Structure 1
Amino acid sequence: MEQKNLTATVTEFVLLGLTQSPELQRFLFIIFSILYLTTWLGNFIIITTVISNHRLHTPIYFLLANLAFIDISDSIVSVPKMLLGLLSQHKTISFNECILQMFFFHFIAGAMVFLLVVMAADRYVAIHKPLQYLTIMNRGVCGGLVAGTWMGGLAHSAIQIGLVLQLPFCGSNVLDNFYCDIPQVVKLACTDTYLFELLMVSQSGVLAIIIFILLLISYTIILVKIRTHLTEGKRRHKAFSTCSSHLIVVTLYYGCSSLIYLRPNSINLPDSNKVLSLIYTTVTSTLNPFIYTLRNKEVKEGLRKILGDDEEKSIFS
């Protein structure tokens, strides 16, 4: 595989991709093309349904629509490049394009991390302060919280990429992955990266695992509250269903990100990195619409109104 001269500045990276087998590449191209289209379709349906149905103009659905937008944005950053790579044996990405990909990937991923925290807080208020819920989570508060998630993602990404740009790249240019990400790129720097790795682990890995633990504790408290204080069957079932859905996505997202960014670069497990990266970048964005929203009764009713009564009977009967 191509490598640059050890004294030359790296101007592009070679991506090894998911596999070197042409037959397997074609099969994976079909699978991930379907997943990519499903991600777009599922999340677009959620956004359209929430916008068009006034009954869904509530804090939780506003947050879910923003999550759907983040899922679409996240898939755009890495999946198209992966699909193109599956059609080619020679996969390259320019240095500047690699930096941009990492910037937007961590920008959107950071926004996702903070939005999941906001959604947990929303559920906490809804369960513990039901009478004051709409007053506390009013439109201005929700808008400010969502804006804060994007600002938090921007700050996180700017810090990470700013540190990467300080590193010299003058040796190997081969990345054993299907997209550019900071842990793999840092390993190619022709200088000691120990301090940078510590900063990366502390900002990405440790922060992710701390938030993950806090979210698990908060959802446990919420579920205990639901079990002990809600007596109405339908209401309890709906609350359990919503919180358990949130918990599944939180576990998938934070679990994978913690394993990717907490592991030191000295531990090189390329196959596990690729599997975790696929779940982190592709699978969660596809599953989110089904886990969170499309099995939700209120969203189904809103979708039925968009499709019309005739189509409703054939699709939802």
Structure 2
Amino acid sequence: MSRGDLTDDEWAVLEPLLPLSNNRCGRWRDHRQVINGIIHRLGTSCQWRELPERFGPWQTVHKRHLLWSADGTWERLLRHVQAVADAAGDIDWDINVDSTSVRAHQHAAGARKDPPLAPAVPKGALQGAVRTLLAFLEEAARPGEALGRSRGGLTTKVHLAADGKCRPLALVVTPGQRADCTQFEPVLDKIRVPRTGLGRPRRRPASVSADRAYSNGIIRGYLRRRGIRHAIPEKSDSQAARLRKGSRGGRPPAFSPARYRQRNTVERAVNKLKQFRAVATRYDKRGYVYLGTVTAAALLIWLRS
């Protein structure tokens, strides 16, 4: 799944969606040849300059991947394939949410930093607490490159929602130390499967399952407001606190063990993504480029499922 070139059937799905020219230098180099080069790099995680000559100049393949990661082309292709599958009734909307940590290679660090959003403050002009607050606000306004320190060292975390057939529906990348529960709503909000005909894109799943890392009142309230059934086990400390309150603690949240057993589909979706060596280890310096790499791998999973 992770190495072979595009087949004729797969190329027939993608070809109508790709641009005919780049509006600057005439026609693009053969898209199929370039995509095959990107697939080769996804499966082998080789350096761009080590691509075999049959894929053309490595600079072209590299720049095309950077461009399509930045302008959302990979995501648009993924949504189109999902829309075709949904129109055929091929999506199981009992989805599952989880995350996985990815070790970053040392070459993934060192991306050139953008100029600061706030003007430089002279040394000693502000107290330490105020200076720390300014740094926090700047980081919140302009997220970094999805690289963070955790127990495994320099890592990136991939948060995803998978359908019942082990295929990624939505993807979000964050620094490796980011808590899973903080990205639950962004992942679900990113689910957007267009209709092939008239109608709004489908955004609400039939049900959601997740592990105890997502068990809190904020997430349950979010699902309740959207009318989404869920199977999320209650944490032991939350259960003990509820029992201590007696009748004031309220009823226990509904939980279906049979539905929860289907959560293995998201674990299998993670395994499929990590069959691509360029996903299992992060080599991309920029966060948006690594997200494009993961999205291209998800596209291949949908095409070849």
Q: Which has the higher strand share?
A: 2
TM class by shorter-chain length? under 0.3
TM-score norm. by structure 1 comes to 0.24
Q: Which has the higher helix share?
A: 1
